[in-house]
Amino acid sequence: MTQSFATEEMVQKTVERFGGLDVAFNNAGGGARPTPLADLSPEVFAGALSVNVTGTFLSMRAQIKAMLARGGGAIVNMSSTAGLQGVAGLAPYCAGKHAIIGLSKAAALDYADKNVRINVVAPGPIATERIDSEQRKRIGQYIPAKRVGEPSEVAELVQWLCSSDARFVTGVVVPIDGGRLAGTPSFAVSS
């Protein structure tokens, strides 16, 4: 949602129906097909930032207000491992996912003393409907865990970050990528 009234209305309806807002998960994503930066139009770049960054900002803005009225809450924002490193051909997506991390960290500092926790998950390759079984096998070869992640694994991490078990966790980015960002696995083992 990239319109202020829409996000505010969504939060207002949630508060009316459930009596408040305790947790929120902002999962926005979008971008152009892989394209070198110089070949991108300004409109495509702006569109990707609008979905990823403006949508997350507007959602958080409305969510934080509702959580402050309730005495606190937890927000988890979806980024990507592309928000922690560059990916060739995906400049708009990378820029947007990097921005979500900065936005989340700044907001976490703004509201840490008001009992509103804000964290980020940064998934690597996840087995969604956009990746067929052959692609999963191929991609898995380049991940230390030798597989792509499952959507349920991301959901469990988000659930934990929203729970009271994570009550002292705020302003962090948690990669969930089977060890991909840890580095390059060794191909030779010495004794």
Residue bearing tokens 């997350």? 56
User: What does the alpha-carbon distance between residue 31 and residue 57 come to, in Å, rounded to a whole number?
Assistant: 17
The distance of Cα 146 from the centroid of its chain, to the nearest Å, equals 23
Contact 125, 175 (CB under 8 A): no
93 annotated active-site:
yes
Any residues with CB less than 8 A from the CB of 68 and at least 6 apart, and which? 111, 114, 116
Which among 11, 63, 81, 93 is annotated as catalytic? 93
User: What does the alpha-carbon distance between residue 49 and residue 85 come to, in Å, rounded to a whole number?
Assistant: 17
Residue 74, strand partner residues: 23, 117
Helices (H), ranges, 76-150? 91-111, 133-140
DSSP state of 45: H
Report the catalytic residues. 93
